[in-house]
Amino acid sequence: MTKKNRKWSQADIPDQRGRVVVVTGANTGIGYHTAAALAYSGAHVVLAVRNLEKGNAALARIVAAKPEADVTLQQLDLGSLASVRAAAQALRDAYPRIDLLINNAGVMWTPKQVTADGFELQFGTNHLGHFALTGLLLDHLLPVRDSRVVTVSSLGHRIRAAIHFEDLQWERSYSRVGAYGQAKLANLLFTYELQRRLAAQDKANTIAVAAHPGGSNTELARNLPGIFQPVKAVLGPLLFQSPEWGALPTLRAATDPDVQGGQYYGPDGLGEQRGHPKLVQSSAQSHDEDLQRRLWTVSEELTGVTFPV
């Protein structure tokens, strides 16, 4: 089978030695397997996690599997802009250059809650926290050849998804599915707007890419409404793939030399639920440039973070 027709797998990750990688939410699930694969491929990987105890356990697992793996921890709570700023400053101090930022962490279908800054939890964590982190770290990526910002979205960006500018924090009414759809749509709008800004830079080194894991059996689904739990128990093996497989679209977006800015990767199986990673298409709404610009402006206002592009 020719390279063009062969399905992409973890074995296709190029040598990552010399690269500095930051992965948010790297203590469990897709984030863990993304970080582990990059560490096994030679990268220096920073596990950016909210819970340091779980982060230390993840680090120990990676090193136990490959003792020479180069892995460190950074505390990061994406639900707190103060924590995001502190983590970004620590990373800036420790790493003059960053090759790869993977915005992976997230929450899904949570009961109504707010972040430390009063944002709806899913929008605040999945989008605004990553928006702020990226803006605060970007100038350490911009000079680095083939540097990338990879943001993990979801099939949920198509489900009851809209940017509710009139009520971004869902104060009037709340839908856990709708709020998740808004957050995951925001991830893509952010990626595409960031890529357009990066491409306008003279001699741009950095690209912005997105990925989604399909249906993956991870802790993210712990807030699945009770009515769906029996369905998951019966159909889970058919609909959900392992987190190792769910990490592959992110890994391809992060490392494949042929990836271009503004692309979106997901599984190649039926409904993009499972399978090998390939280039896929996001919703028409996610490509609305007016929506992208409007969300960017609002995100800057809410976070107080502006970008060097």
Nearest Cα residue to 121 out of 62, 182, 55: 182
pLDDT value of position 215: 87
What is the pLDDT averaged over residues 252-258? 98
The proportion of the chain whose per-residue pLDDT surpasses 90, expressed as a percent, equals: 88
Between 202 and 149, the more confident residue is 149
Q: In what order do the strands lie in the sheet with 206-211?
A: 70-75, 44-49, 20-24, 100-103, 147-152, 206-211, 264-267, 277-279
Query: Which pLDDT does position 204 carry in this prediction?
Result: 87
Q: Is the pLDDT of residue 271 over 60?
A: yes
How far apart, in whole angstroms, are the C-alpha atoms of residue 20 and residue 147? 10
The per-residue pLDDT for 227 is 47
Q: How confident is the model at residue 6 (pLDDT cuts 50, 70, 90)?
A: confident
Task: Give the chain's mean pLDDT.
Answer: 93
- What is the C-alpha to C-alpha distance for residues 36 and 54, in angstroms, rounded to an integer? 14
C-alpha neighbours within 13 Å on the C-beta side of residue 255: 28
Cβ contact 305:297 at 8 Å? no
Which pLDDT band, with edges at 50, 70 and 90, does 265 fall under? very high
Say what the pLDDT of residue 218 is: 53
Q: Each residue of 27-63: pLDDT tens digit?
A: 999 999 999 999 999 999 999 999 999 999 999 999 9
pLDDT at residue number 3? 53
The pLDDT value recorded for residue 132 is 98
**180 in catalytic set:** yes
Tokens 């894991």 -> residue: 213
pLDDT at 4: 55
Residue 23: which of 99, 92, 83, 94 has the closest Cα?
99
pLDDT given for residue 224 in this prediction:
55
| pLDDT for 22 | 99
User: What would the mean pLDDT of 133-158 be, rounded to a whole number?
Assistant: 97
pLDDT digit string, tens, across residues 125-143: 999 999 999 999 999 999 9
Average pLDDT (16-31) is: 98
pLDDT for 184 equals 97
Inform me whether the pLDDT recorded for 230 exceeds 80. Answer: no
Quick one: pLDDT band at residue 5, thresholds 50, 70, 90?
low
Active-site residue identified among 180, 192, 264, 265: 180
